[in-house]
């Protein structure tokens, strides 16, 4: 079986995206959000059959681990209540896709994160998505501020309530930022890759893997800069007297191959072959 571990619902029905725009506008105006739109199973099916499912069949993959559109998470928009409602709507939509195509898609949850709001806020949504929807992972945004990095690093106990849930349910987290609102960063050209690299470095120098020996993280987009600069991170670990980098992280951190370029995949594979110390 060939599993695509990094799929997003980038073709969600227009009423869903339109409701998000109205939700944010209502928040800015201090008004209640509009009711969520109704969407038929046929509408949802059409967005999948002509998009992700077609590509899945063309490219020979069997199962896509499927989550809401990452750039659309928009944790820097609105407030905690806005994020809760948006995460709930997005996860419900992903669940409806997975229910219609159970052999092709399985869900991963978007979390209702907001800058400066404790991650404890996310626990009910994790419970709901695992217990009611059968989701098998979460996307964890290390920077809900959208490029201003206002929350504590992933090494901080601030994040431990989420880590505890991950271990309880035996689910991994993909470290995935959302859209950048800082003009210094292009969302997909730099902010995504920055988030991958920063997340790895924060976890590498932390006590997270000692405190949660079985926890699992996925670093997307080929691992950001990490596989290509393995020697740099190996040196940082040695200087910090953390031991061999392979022993330090490779039981808990995994990289995907989402680099959109076959030569890039080959380079990544060569750079990480056996992770020589």
Give the tens place of pLDDT for each residue, 132-142. 999 999 999 99
> Is 96 within a domain?
yes
Indicate whether 277 belongs to any domain.
Answer: no
- Asked whether the predicted pLDDT for residue 268 surpasses 80, the reply is no
pLDDT band of 259, cuts 50, 70, 90: confident
- To the nearest 10°, report the CA torsion of 153, 155, 161, 166: 110
Using alpha carbons, select from 56, 46, 54 the residue that is nearest to residue 14: 46
Q: How far is the C-alpha of 236 from the C-alpha of 258, rounded, in Å?
A: 26
128 within domain boundaries? yes
Residue 94 lies in a domain: yes
Residue 228: CATH number of its domain: 3.20.20.140
Q: Is the pLDDT of residue 16 over 80?
A: yes
Read off the pLDDT of residues 36-91 as tens digits, 9 standing for 90 and up. Answer: 999 999 999 999 998 899 999 998 999 999 999 999 999 999 999 999 999 999 99
Residue 178 lies in a domain: yes
Please give the model's pTM, rounded to 2 decimal places: 0.93
Domain count, the chain: 1
Question: Around Cβ 176, how many Cβ atoms within 10 Å?
Answer: 26
Instruction: Give percent of the chain above pLDDT 70.
Output: 95
Is pLDDT above 60 for 274?
Answer: no
Parent domain of 220: 3-272
């Amino acid at each position: 079986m060939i599993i695509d571990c990094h799929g997003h619902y980038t073709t969600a029905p227009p009423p869903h995206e339109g409701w998000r725009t109205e939700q944010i506008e209502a928040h800015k105006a201090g008004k209640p959000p509009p009711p969520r739109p109704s969407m038929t199973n046929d509408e949802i099916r059409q967005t999948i059959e002509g998009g992700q499912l077609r590509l899945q069949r063309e490219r020979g993959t069997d199962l896509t681990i499927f989550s809401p559109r990452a750039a659309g998470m928009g944790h820097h928009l609105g407030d905690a209540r806005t994020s809760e409602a948006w995460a709930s709507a997005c996860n419900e939509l992903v669940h409806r896709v997975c229910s219609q195509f159970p052999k092709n898609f399985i869900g991963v949850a978007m979390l209702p994160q907001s800058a400066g709001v404790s991650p404890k806020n996310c626990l009910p949504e994790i419970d709901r998505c695992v217990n009611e929807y059968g989701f098998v992972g979460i996307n964890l945004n290390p920077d809900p501020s959208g490029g201003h990095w206002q929350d504590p690093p992933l090494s901080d106990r601030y994040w431990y309530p989420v880590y505890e849930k991950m271990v309880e349910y035996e689910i991994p987290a993909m470290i995935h930022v959302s859209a950048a609102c800082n003009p210094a960063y292009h969302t997909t050209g730099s902010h995504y890759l920055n988030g991958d690299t920063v997340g790895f470095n924060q976890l590498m120098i932390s006590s997270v893997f000692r405190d949660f020996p079985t926890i699992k993280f996925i670093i997307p987009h080929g691992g950001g800069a990490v596989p290509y600069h393995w020697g740099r991170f190996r040196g940082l670990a040695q200087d910090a007297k953390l031991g061999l980098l392979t022993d330090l992280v490779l039981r808990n951190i995994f990289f995907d191959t989402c680099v959109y370029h076959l030569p890039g995949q080959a380079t990544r594979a060569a750079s990480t072959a056996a992770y020589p110390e």
